Structure 1
Amino acid sequence: MILGKKDEQRPAEACGLIREINLGGTAIGTGFNSPPRYAELVCSYLSEITGIPLSTASDLVEAIQDV
C-alpha cells in the first residue's frame, strides 16, 4: 500500500488532538463564573502530574462537542 503525504501526517495530527483538552470552566467552555486563568492553571497542573504535554483547546465551545 502506498501512503500519500496526508496519510503520513494523520498520526501526528491525531496525537496533537488527543493532547488538547476542553476544560475551560463553567457554562459550556465559556469560563463564565470560573476564577481568572482557571483553564490555563488546570491545564498546566494536569500536564505536570501526568507528564503529558497538554494544551487548552483554542475554541472551548466547539471542543465541548468532541466529548
Structure 2
Amino acid sequence: MLVQLLTAAAEAESNEAGTTALLVGGGIMAFFLLALLVTVSYTNVGRRHDAHAEVSDTHRQHSNKHGHH
C-alpha cells in the first residue's frame, strides 16, 4: 500500500528530488516499523518461565567469585 501511494505521488510530481526523498524516507520508516514489530514480538520470550538461580558450573573459565579470596 505504501509503495502504491509513493508511486502515485511520483507520477503526479515532476520534481525528481522530492520523489526520491519520499521513497528513501518511506523505505527507512518501513524498515524501522518492521524492526519495531520484531522487537515487540520477542518481548514474551523472557516472560515464559520464572527466573531461577543459576547452577554452579565448575568448568567455567571465569567463576565470577569476586570478593571470595
TM-score normalised to structure 2 length: 0.27
TM-score (norm 1): 0.27
More RCO (CA 8 Å, sep 6+) = 1
